[in-house]
């Protein structure tokens, strides 16, 4: 079992359920074949998700699919700290008691059946844990360092230790793989353009042509290379933030 944090409406908790959506309206009743492999799940659905949302950012799509994958990975016996969407000071601890369900008529279409265990008093938590709970992720795996603040028996906490880090790292690794594939294609195109610019420069020099023409080609080429390096750095930073629970 593992311990998570999720945002939910008061009505959902009243109905003994938690939900998520992200505009991903596909019934995941056959999710079992993906539960151990986020990359397989991402590769299967990312094109459909892009078409549904009109979002072409592989990072954003990967993060959203990662949250859906984590939500669907909730299983009977897992515990969830639920933060109310209506009143952020209001929190409760619930246990997953059923299996995944799908409601195609609702934007919050992916469902997990839960049972409320108890309310959680926010004023008894450390500021660091409060900040973590307020993170804008719809669902987060709670790091082991916060377990002492969760009102659960110690043996339950011990059986959950270490599992949540594996989940976050699996999603981060999968997102990076998807982005790397797109960057590899871009890099290949860029390499061909760089070769063409080099040939044009050589021909221009060989024929005694003015240097201004090839120079005009080299400037944007070098600028593109610099921007690509910055993009790779930002991607790595964003994925690191995701693992640390700081990325939306």
Residue matched to tokens 């059923």 = 98
Do 131 and 109 meet the contact criterion of CB atoms below 8 Å apart? no
Model pLDDT, residue 95: 94
Q: How confident is the model at residue 56 (pLDDT cuts 50, 70, 90)?
A: confident
Model pLDDT, residue 2: 78
| Containing structural domain, residue 132 | 3-159
CATH of the domain at 73: 3.10.590
122-180 confidence digits (pLDDT tens): 888 999 999 888 887 788 888 888 888 888 765 454 444 445 555 556 655 655 665 56
Q: Which residues contact 248 (CB under 8 A, 6 or more apart)?
A: 63, 135, 136, 137
Tell me: do 108 and 214 sit in the same domain.
no
Span of 60-74, 101-115, 206-220 with lowest mean pLDDT: 206-220
Q: Is the pLDDT of residue 87 over 60?
A: yes
How many separate domains does the chain show? 2
Tell me: do 184 and 222 sit in the same domain.
yes
226-to-194, 195, 219, 232, 233 alpha-carbon distances in Å? 13, 17, 11, 10, 11
Tell me: do 126 and 184 sit in the same domain.
no
Model pLDDT, residue 143: 85
Tell me: do 61 and 124 sit in the same domain.
yes
191-232 confidence digits (pLDDT tens): 666 666 666 666 665 555 545 555 555 566 666 666 666 666
Tell me: do 32 and 125 sit in the same domain.
yes
Tell me: do 116 and 180 sit in the same domain.
no
Model pLDDT, residue 7: 93
29-to-100, 101, 110 alpha-carbon distances in Å? 7, 7, 10
Q: How confident is the model at residue 57 (pLDDT cuts 50, 70, 90)?
A: confident
Tell me: do 11 and 133 sit in the same domain.
yes
Model pLDDT, residue 58: 77
Model pLDDT, residue 113: 96
11-41 confidence digits (pLDDT tens): 999 999 999 999 999 999 999 999 888 889 9
């Amino acid at each position: 079992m593992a311990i998570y944090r999720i945002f939910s409406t008061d009505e959902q908790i009243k109905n003994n359920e938690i939900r998520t959506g992200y505009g991903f309206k596909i019934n995941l009743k056959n999710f079992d074949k993906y539960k151990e492999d986020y990359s397989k799940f991402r590769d299967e659905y990312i094109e459909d998700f892009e078409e549904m949302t009109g979002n072409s950012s592989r990072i954003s799509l990967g993060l959203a699919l990662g949250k859906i994958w984590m939500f669907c990975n909730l299983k009977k016996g897992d515990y969830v700290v639920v933060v109310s969407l209506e009143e952020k000071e209001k929190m409760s601890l619930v246990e997953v008691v059923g299996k995944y369900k799908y409601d195609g008529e609702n934007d919050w279409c992916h469902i997990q059946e839960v049972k409320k265990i108890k309310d959680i008093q926010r004023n008894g938590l450390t500021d660091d844990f409060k900040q973590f709970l307020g993170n804008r992720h719809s669902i987060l795996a709670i790091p082991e360092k916060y377990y002492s603040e969760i009102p659960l028996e110690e043996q339950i906490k011990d059986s959950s230790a270490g599992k949540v880090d594996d989940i976050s790292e699996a999603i981060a690794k999968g997102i990076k793989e998807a982005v790397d594939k797109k960057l590899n294609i871009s890099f290949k195109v860029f390499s061909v353009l760089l070769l063409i610019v080099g040939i044009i420069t050589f021909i221009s020099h060989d024929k005694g042509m003015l240097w201004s023409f090839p120079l005009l080609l080299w400037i944007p080429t070098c600028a593109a290379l610099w921007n690509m390096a910055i993009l790779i750095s930002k991607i790595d930073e964003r994925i690191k933030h995701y693992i640390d629970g700081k990325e939306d």
